[in-house]
């Protein structure tokens, strides 16, 4: 099943790399999103609040793209790098950043995404080591 989890994440983030964020609409009601402490309004968001947080983040940018790479299979967790690039609405400046995410699955369903600044933090959260 874990190879299927990696492929699910690859597919979703492949869509995000083209600016298609419609996959967020298919998340389960008990889905959790945990932001990196460095972002505005950092915290843990559940259900509709998670969806709102992610939608607000996406909507705060023009031309936002997210590219995922370096997928690490952790069984019911997938660790990967994400590179985000976009222009904050009303600004001419471009913002770029690299983060690490851990996606947790319950059977075939994504139920949690955690975001970290460092690879080692993500690996530790997934119960993996370098």
Q: Torsions phi, psi of 13, nearest 5?
A: -75, -20
Strand order in the sheet with 109-116: 44-46, 32-34, 109-116, 95-106, 77-88, 61-73
CATH code that applies to domain 2-125: 3.10.450.50
Among 127, 15, 16, 19, residue whose Cα is nearest residue 73: 127
Return the higher-pLDDT residue of 26 and 113. Answer: 113
Q: pLDDT tens digits, residue range 11-63?
A: 888 887 777 777 777 788 899 999 998 888 889 999 888 888 888 888 888 88
Q: Would you state the pLDDT for residue 1?
A: 47
Q: pLDDT tens digits, residue range 53-102?
A: 888 888 888 888 889 999 999 999 999 999 999 999 988 899 999 999 99
Q: Torsions phi, psi of 48, nearest 5?
A: -60, -35
Largest interatomic CA distance in the chain: 44
CA separation for the pair 74, 2 (Å, rounded): 7
CA separation for the pair 94, 60 (Å, rounded): 13
**Helical segments of the chain, H only:** 2-16, 48-59, 119-125
| pTM for the structure as a whole | 0.88
Return the higher-pLDDT residue of 24 and 109. Answer: 109
Q: Would you state the pLDDT for residue 92?
A: 84
């Amino acid at each position: 099943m874990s190879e299927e989890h990696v492929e699910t994440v690859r597919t979703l983030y492949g869509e995000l790399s083209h600016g298609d964020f419609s996959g967020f609409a298919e998340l389960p009601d008990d889905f959790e999103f945990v932001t990196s402490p460095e972002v505005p309004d950092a915290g843990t968001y559940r259900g509709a609040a998670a969806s709102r947080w992610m939608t607000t983040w996406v909507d705060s940018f023009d031309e936002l793209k997210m590219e995922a790479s370096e997928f690490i299979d952790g069984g019911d967790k997938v660790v990967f790098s994400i590179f985000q690039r976009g222009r904050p609405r009303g600004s001419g400046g471009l913002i770029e950043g690299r983060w690490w995410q851990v996606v947790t699955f319950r059977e075939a369903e994504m139920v949690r995404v955690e975001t970290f600044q460092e690879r080692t933090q993500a690996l530790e959260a997934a119960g993996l080591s370098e």
